[in-house]
């Protein structure tokens, strides 16, 4: 690729998950920060019903007609993945896809599988890393096999629910507990249950989002997050700390109320910082992540130390999102972060092509 050649940056946003709105906001900020001297941006919206479209509003703003809104509208001229990707790999130029999709049908390996078939480089983890990280139950199982500490938990399928299960879980894990859909992010569908009856209700709520449920013993500890960037040799940002404005760091606290407090860098000792950074990289590699991920921990200062909470392979990029904040604090600007993610996508595709073209 010539140094003066524009990269076609296909930005996918919206999607069919409950995190649709977060994705539309994330995309607006990424597009605004991308350097127009380096990228020719093609905004592709995916509606809640799965319809793909060349987003009219974003396209007009990029052409200089009107301002780019803070939340993109995924509607426009309907297209298909074949329309977008057909021939891209052989067209001679450079095309990179940025799948800014959060949650199921976007962050879980489904879209990544489609992109693998196109042969076009894309930002973020591949099929296995995306699917494994998205499913909290399976991620916990794999991480446990690698000796990575975590809170006590139980995972079960909807078909395994019995009338006596809430009481059994309370006796086993204690109260309070957190109840989560196994495949969802942004704290959607998550409840804190302090009684058996509340636990029963929380299971019902979680089941509206996924057929697999994770119930975790509550942890009294600090919430520490680390941003990881890279492919085979990833690096970790300075850690950050979330001080929730609500009883726990829920959806409203993350995206609507801005009631939480973020401490960047987190007030940790040099030894603690190095420990959590090394642990974040270990988690990233264990789950076969690539490109980027935000690794979330609980920190019991006078107990078990750092406990893995969850992994987000396509974290939010809104103005109050931790992933870009952590890298900015680590010396990488928002625009430079986008450049690095694009470079990593191209690097990985070239590495894989070498293996498959023999």
**Domain residue ranges in the chain:** 7-122, 133-149+220-332, 153-217
CATH for 153-217 is 3.30.1490.20
> Quick one: pLDDT at residue 219?
92
Strand partners, 229: 235, 292
Top-tier CATH class for 133-149+220-332 = alpha beta
Top-tier CATH class for 7-122 = alpha beta
Radius of gyration of the chain (CA): 20
In contact, 41 and 53? CB cutoff 8 Å:
no
**pTM of the shown model:** 0.92
Kindly give the residue spans of alpha helices, DSSP state H, lying in the chain.
20-33, 56-62, 81-85, 110-118, 127-134, 136-145, 165-173, 196-207, 251, 270-286, 322-329, 334-356
Residues known to be catalytic: 19, 186, 255, 294, 296, 310, 312, 316
> Quick one: pLDDT at residue 247?
63
> Quick one: pLDDT at residue 1?
45
**Same fold for the domain at 133-149+220-332 and the one at 153-217?**
no
Task: Give the Cα separation of 345 and 351 in Å (integer).
Answer: 10
Q: What number of H helices and E strands is found in the chain?
A: 12, 15
Task: Give the Cα separation of 83 and 88 in Å (integer).
Answer: 10
Task: Give the Cα separation of 268 and 241 in Å (integer).
Answer: 9
In contact, 215 and 153? CB cutoff 8 Å:
yes
Task: Give the Cα separation of 26 and 196 in Å (integer).
Answer: 37
Q: How far apart are the first and last CA of the chain?
A: 22
Task: Give the Cα separation of 296 and 271 in Å (integer).
Answer: 18
How would you write the pLDDT of the chain (358 residues) with one tens digit per residue? 445 689 999 999 999 988 899 899 999 999 999 999 999 999 999 999 999 999 999 999 999 998 999 999 999 999 999 889 875 544 556 999 999 999 889 999 999 999 999 999 999 999 999 999 999 999 999 999 999 999 999 999 999 999 999 999 999 999 999 999 998 765 788 999 999 999 999 999 999 999 999 999 999 999 999 999 999 999 999 999 999 865 654 445 544 455 678 999 999 999 999 999 999 999 999 999 999 999 999 999 888 999 999 999 999 887 778 999 999 999 999 999 999 999 999 999 999 886 765 5
Contacts of residue 101, defined as CB under 8 A and 6 or more positions apart, other chains included, come to: 12, 13, 14, 15, 17, 23, 46, 107, 111, 314
């Amino acid at each position: 690729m010539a140094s003066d050649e524009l990269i076609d940056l296909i930005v996918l946003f919206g999607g069919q998950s409950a995190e649709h709105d977060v994705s539309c906001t994330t995309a607006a900020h990424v597009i605004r920060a991308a350097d127009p001297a380096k990228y020719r941006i093609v905004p592709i919206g995916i509606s809640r019903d799965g319809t793909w479209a060349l987003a009219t509003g974003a396209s007009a703003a990029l052409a200089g007609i009107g301002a780019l809104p803070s939340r993109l509208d995924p509607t426009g001229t309907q297209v298909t993945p074949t329309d977008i990707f057909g021939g891209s790999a052989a067209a001679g130029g450079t095309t990179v896809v940025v799948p800014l999709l959060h949650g199921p049908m976007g962050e879980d390996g489904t879209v990544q599988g489609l992109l693998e078939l196109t042969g076009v480089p894309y930002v973020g983890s591949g099929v296995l890393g995306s699917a494994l990280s998205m499913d909290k139950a399976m991620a916990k199982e794999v991480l446990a096999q690698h000796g990575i500490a975590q809170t006590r938990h139980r995972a079960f399928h909807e078909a395994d629910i019995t009338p006596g299960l809430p009481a059994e879980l309370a006796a086993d894990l204690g109260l309070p507990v957190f109840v989560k859909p196994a495949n969802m992010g942004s704290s959607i569908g998550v409840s804190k249950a302090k009684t058996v009856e509340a636990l029963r209700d929380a299971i019902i709520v979680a089941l509206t989002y996924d057929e697999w449920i994770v119930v975790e013993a509550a942890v009294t500890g600090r919430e520490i997050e680390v941003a990881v960037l890279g492919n085979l040799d990833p690096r970790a940002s300075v850690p950050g700390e979330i001080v929730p404005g609500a009883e726990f760091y829920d959806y409203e606290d993350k995206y609507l109320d801005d009631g939480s407090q973020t401490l960047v860098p987190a007030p940790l000792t040099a030894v603690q910082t190095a420990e959590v950074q090394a642990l974040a990289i270990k988690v990233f590699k264990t789950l076969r992540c690539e490109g980027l991920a935000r690794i979330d921990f609980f920190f019991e200062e006078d107990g078990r130390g750092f406990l893995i909470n969850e992994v987000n392979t396509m974290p939010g990029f809104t103005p109050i999102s931790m992933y870009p904040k952590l890298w900015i604090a680590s010396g990488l600007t928002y625009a430079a972060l986008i450049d690095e993610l694009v470079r990593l996508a191209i690097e990985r595709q070239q590495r894989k092509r070498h293996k498959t073209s023999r």
